Amino acid sequence: MNKLKKIVVIGPESTGKSTLCAALSNAYNTIWCEEYAREYLSKNGTDYNFENLLTIAKGQITNEEKATEKAIQENKTHLIIDTDMYVMKVWCEYVFNNCHPFILEEISKRKYDLYLLCDIDLPWAPDEMREYPDEQPRKELFALYKELLMNQETPWGVVSGTGEARTKNAMNLIDQYCNQ
């Protein structure tokens, strides 16, 4: 029986994470864990506070656990995960200069096989959920994600390009690190 390979897609907003997750899910005939924040903010409005981010983090974990269970039941070899606790950490710290201990604990407990960091080479697309249309915050956030990934043990790579080239770039990383 093959071990389920968990691939997490992270990065600043408007870098094509959800689109990439859907494309990878299709390419590897598997399921993907959607980002809970979008669901939460759609239901509750885009005005949020520090405590709401804890609720969002817990919802993300629940989504991930359900997707993992489903992938195992369906005997999938890959699970694509849109967002994890690193995203929640960056979000908390960038907006509130603080992070919930729960998020930090979950970062230390959860194990993945690969991180895909989406580059900011895609143009920012307007969306009611997005907060940072300017280039400077996107650069700052990308740098924060990159620094986090450089200081942890899970393999990772930057995904750049547009359309099919972006998907192929991600697939090359998955094939390199997860399909050996």
The pTM score is 0.95
User: Domain holding 97: CATH number?
Assistant: 3.40.50.300
Q: Which domain holds residue 98?
A: 5-178
Q: Any idea what the Cα angle at residue 44 is, between residues 43 and 46, rounded to 5°?
A: 110
* Partners of 156 in beta bridges: 115
Q: For the chain, list residues with pLDDT below 50.
A: 1
Q: Any idea what the Cα angle at residue 15 is, between residues 114 and 169, rounded to 5°?
A: 50
As for how many domains the chain has, the answer is 1
Q: Give per-residue pLDDT as tens, 100-150.
A: 999 999 999 999 999 999 999 988 776 676 676 678 989 999 999 999 999
